[in-house]
Structure 1
Amino acid sequence: MGKSRPLGFSFDFHGGSGDYTGTSLSGTATLGRSGLNGYISWTFLCRRDTKYQTCGGSDKMKLPAMVTGMAASVFLAFSGNVYADSARTTSSNTGDYISLLMIGSVAKLDDVTTSSGTLQERNTDDTTAAPGVVVGYNWAKKGIPIRSEIEYHYRVRFDFDTRVIGTAGYGNQLSTHALLANAYYDYQLSDTLALFSGGGAGWAQNVSDVTRTSLVGAATGTDRTDETDNFAWNLALGAIWSFAENWDLELKYRYISLGEVSSGPHIDGTIIKADTYTAHDVIIGFMYRF
């Protein structure tokens, strides 16, 4: 005869406004309304070889209905979350994954200065877009609810426009390369849905493609490209939905700091600089688990 293994429990609740039954074999169950008074009877279930059978229980226990109902609900919710974590850990996936990102952003430049003359800020905030790619590993395979990943993305078309009064205007088509190491803590709500939070740090290169237009005499223009390397960091939170066997959909909000932006010296020696480049990102990711 096979060895008995506990699998779950069942309960029958009898109250003033009806009788309700719930069963937990895989960590899920439902519980209806309860009356003001009642009793709960419970039975532990075991598996012996391939058959379910009773292996322990109690007589009816008279307790306030609300207390018994709440206790049963909490226990069932807890057992469901344990089952969800177990399902991720024992899945056939290796833990490795790749994700394609679509990033929409509201970005801003602060502390803008010029090396000479009086600066007029004409446009220092803009909406931008960025495609990105991520390679990562889910440590849930080893019992740790953490994901670590490397991300690259390319931000395009931040229109950063300034003018030095009486001298020249500077139109900067700002773009950014970013390489980040991120880590996230996952809280599994169910076998297919998780919340997460985390952040990361890395490198950002802000590329300034600037056209300088003279405001004195003929409106002549000169072009210049400058690259500024920076330390970047971010904080993020979001949700992941596992909608297919190997596929996840990720929705994430992120605050990111991309360092400083600098252009020059231009033909007249002027340098235009912004000390802080930050953005609020909304990110959609399509993740494939290997």
Structure 2
Amino acid sequence: MRSVKSLIAAGAASLLSSAAFAADMPIMPPPPMAYAPPPVQDFGGWYLRGDIGMTNLNGKLFAPGYNDASTVSVRQVGHGFTGGTSFGLGVGYQFNNWFRADITGEYRSKVNFNGNDFAVISGLNGVPGNWPLGDTYNGGISSWVGLVNVYADLGTWWCLTPFIGAGVGGAWNKTTGLADLTTFPANNLSTSLYQADGATKVNFAWALHAGVAYKVTNNFTVELAYRYLDLGSAVTGGGSTFDGHTSTRPFEFRDLTSQDVRLGVRWTCCDVPPPPPPPLITKG
């Protein structure tokens, strides 16, 4: 019986001693709470781009004779251009998940122009009266276009990102000559052929973009887009008829616009590294 009491007393003394030792230990502050680094943002960096498109140029031809006081009336029929192709390259920068900008240059292939004018001229060649005549035109235009563009990406769903954009720059329009076959119905259907030379003109140009992009990989994106492009105007040079009559007065293509469908690719070549995450534990 005495041995059991001794064991109990010894155990109690040991517990009291341990509690006293723990009470004498300094109190340590708890470690700071750890937090996860912010998610890596999926944007940033320079990119190269290439585009190929189908062009649909529109505009009206203005003949120099329409400024003459002798022109009574003019009716234009069937003015239009054939379809063409555009080829472009550019470099840009993706600033964040929704904003990017690029500089592009493109070549627009030659398209042919055809159309007819029916006019009434007063006192044709000094002969009194109003004289009808008809003009049949055939010519061509090609262009170089440079633009600075900005885009807004409107969110991503199933790897598809719709976007809108706008651009400003310049267009270098080159005519490749214009043939004007004039018919005089009142004069036994006689004809006269005038051949104008080609010329170049530089204009202010602007564009509106809308399309959708598909991200194939982190560095490679495919775009399908529509673009409305205003190219300004174009002119011809002087010319001559086959019977020796010459003129320095140019024909003018006015209000040149194009509605293009374009397929493009973007390759992000230099990703911007994300900022390093903060340490998990900071010193107190």
Letter in 1 for 2:212: A
Structure scoring higher RCO (CA < 8 A, sep ≥ 6) equals: 2
Matched, 1:272 2:282: no
Report the alpha carbon displacement of residue 273 of structure 1 after superposing the two structures with TM.
1.4
Letter in 2 for 1:134: G
User: What residue is the counterpart of 1:284 in the other structure?
Assistant: 263
Which residues in structure 2 correspond to 1:156-171 (within 5 Å)?
A: 156-163=109-116, 166=133, 169-171=136-138
- Alignment CA distance shift 1:132-1:230 (3 Å): same
Work out the CA distance in 2 between the residues paired with 1:179 and 1:195. Answer: 24
| Contact kept in structure 1, 2:50 and 2:88, CA below 8 Å | yes
Identical-pair percentage: 21
Report the alpha carbon displacement of residue 146 of structure 1 after superposing the two structures with TM.
1.2
| Contact kept in structure 2, 1:87 and 1:191, CA below 8 Å | no
Report the alpha carbon displacement of residue 158 of structure 1 after superposing the two structures with TM.
2.1
Which residues in structure 2 correspond to 1:202-241 (within 5 Å)?
A: 202-212=169-179, 214-215=181-182, 222=195, 224-241=197-214
Letter in 1 for 2:62: T
Q: Which has the larger radius of gyration?
A: 2
Report the alpha carbon displacement of residue 189 of structure 1 after superposing the two structures with TM.
1.6
- Partner of 2:42: helix, strand, or coil? helix
Relative to total residues, which structure has the larger strand share, 1 or 2? 1
- Alignment CA distance shift 1:241-1:214 (3 Å): closer
User: What residue is the counterpart of 1:25 in the other structure?
Assistant: none
Work out the CA distance in 2 between the residues paired with 1:232 and 1:224. Answer: 24
- Partner of 1:225: helix, strand, or coil? coil
TM-score, scaled relative to structure 2? 0.63
Letter in 2 for 1:232: A
User: What residue is the counterpart of 1:53 in the other structure?
Assistant: none
- Alignment CA distance shift 1:167-1:149 (3 Å): same
Work out the CA distance in 2 between the residues paired with 1:199 and 1:178. Answer: 14
Work out the CA distance in 2 between the residues paired with 1:204 and 1:241. Answer: 29
Report the alpha carbon displacement of residue 264 of structure 1 after superposing the two structures with TM.
3.1
- Alignment CA distance shift 1:153-1:252 (3 Å): same
Which residues in structure 2 correspond to 1:111-190 (within 5 Å)?
A: 112-116=61-65, 120-140=76-96, 145-163=98-116, 166=133, 169-190=136-157
Report the alpha carbon displacement of residue 219 of structure 1 after superposing the two structures with TM.
7.5
User: What residue is the counterpart of 1:88 in the other structure?
Assistant: 42
RMSD over aligned Cα atoms = 3.0
Cα deviation, 1:150-205, whole Å, max 9, x if unaligned, reads: 01111113211245665864421111110000000112325843221110100001
TM-score, scaled relative to structure 1? 0.62
User: What residue is the counterpart of 1:194 in the other structure?
Assistant: 161
User: What residue is the counterpart of 2:274 in the other structure?
Assistant: none
Q: 1:104 aligns with which of 31, 50, 54?
A: 54
- Alignment CA distance shift 1:167-1:123 (3 Å): closer
Work out the CA distance in 2 between the residues paired with 1:212 and 1:153. Answer: 28
Report the alpha carbon displacement of residue 223 of structure 1 after superposing the two structures with TM.
5.7
- Partner of 2:85: helix, strand, or coil? strand
Report the alpha carbon displacement of residue 241 of structure 1 after superposing the two structures with TM.
1.2
User: What residue is the counterpart of 1:54 in the other structure?
Assistant: none
Work out the CA distance in 1 between the residues paired with 2:92 and 2:260. Answer: 20
Letter in 1 for 2:88: G
Q: Where does structure 2 lack aligned partners over 5 or more consecutive residues?
A: 1-30, 67-73, 119-132, 184-189, 241-245, 270-284
- Partner of 1:188: helix, strand, or coil? coil
Cα deviation, 1:44-63, whole Å, max 9, x if unaligned, reads: xxxxxxxxxxxxxxxxxxxx
Which residues in structure 2 correspond to 1:61-80 (within 5 Å)?
A: none
